Amino acid sequence: MKIVGLTGGIGSGKTTVAKMFAELGVPVYNSDLEAKKLMHSSKTIRNKLKILFGESAYLDGKLNRGYIAKSVFNDQDLLKALNGIVHPAVRRHFKKWCKKQDHSYVIQETALLFENRAQDLYDKIILVVAPKEVRIDRLLERDQSTREDILARMENQLEDKEKIPLADFIIKNTNLEKTGERVTEVNRAILDSY
């Protein structure tokens, strides 16, 4: 079974594109979602996060996302420490998940693929792109975040122009119908390449 990475900057439309692949029968692993589940369910991770962020890491037993986000996206060392706790656990969990899938390829949706220099873990890499201002507008509409919050996350991610030469397939996501057509095309190209 081949492993395909699906990445893109914040608000590019990774999850939207991942759902389109899932509709074509491709098993999809959402790293953001699974990371959060692990941060909730793993006692080891909970304890490490409490040491790093104090008791405020959890609020009423639930991950205090707002507090953690505010802390890490303005502090590189803290962000590195958080990534160092969460990312290895996600990698282990993903490997186990893969063993349960039955398809010629699976997709791992992950925001920080190139940032983590994880290219070698994948057989193919799909990059979702959209203009920065479009991404910001989408996020302002979707979340309660401010422009400043969004820019702080973007600053911890590579620019599209740095990622484009490193990807096998680019999906430009500005028009949903065209994105759907491109997803069908990329799925076919991946199936034909094995």
Ligand X SMILES: CC(C)(COP(=O)(O)OP(=O)(O)OC[C@H]1O[C@@H](n2cnc3c(N)ncnc32)[C@H](O)[C@@H]1O)[C@@H](O)C(=O)NCCC(=O)NCCS
Ligand Y SMILES: Nc1ncnc2c1ncn2[C@@H]1O[C@H](COP(=O)(O)OP(=O)(O)OP(=O)(O)O)[C@@H](O)[C@H]1O
Count of residues touching ligand Y (by CB under 6 A): 17
Mask of contacts with ligand X, 142-171, x by CB under 6 A? -----------x--xx--------------
Query: Any contact of residue 86 with ligand X (CB under 6 A)?
Result: yes
What are the beta bridge partners of residue 127?
A: 7, 170
Partner touching 176 among ligand X, ligand Y, none, CB below 5 to 8 Å by kind: ligand Y
Nearest alpha-carbon partner for 76 in 162, 157, 156, 147? 156
| Residue 91: how many other CB atoms lie within 10 Å | 15
Sequence-distant (6+) residues with CB within 8 A of 156 are 73, 76, 79, 115
Partner touching 188 among ligand Y, ligand X, none, CB below 5 to 8 Å by kind: none
Candidates 17-25, 30-38, 95-103, 130-138 — which segment interacts with ligand X by CB under 6 A? 30-38
Please say whether the beta carbons of 93 and 134 come within 8 A: no
Please say whether the beta carbons of 5 and 110 come within 8 A: yes
Torsion 57-63-64-70 (CA) sign: positive
Candidates 79-87, 94-102, 160-168, 180-188 — which segment interacts with ligand X by CB under 6 A? 79-87
Alpha helices by DSSP H, listed for 42-100, are 43-53, 65-72, 76-99
Residues between 35 and 64 that touch ligand Y (CB under 6 A): none
Least CB distance to ligand Y at residue 114 (A) = 14
Among 17, 18, 20, 35, binds ligand X (CB under 6 A): 35
What are the beta bridge partners of residue 108?
A: 5, 29
Partner touching 42 among ligand Y, ligand X, none, CB below 5 to 8 Å by kind: none
Binding site for ligand X (CB under 6 A): 10, 31-32, 35, 39, 65, 68-69, 72, 79, 82-83, 86-87, 90, 110-112, 153, 156-157
Residues at the binding site are: 11-16
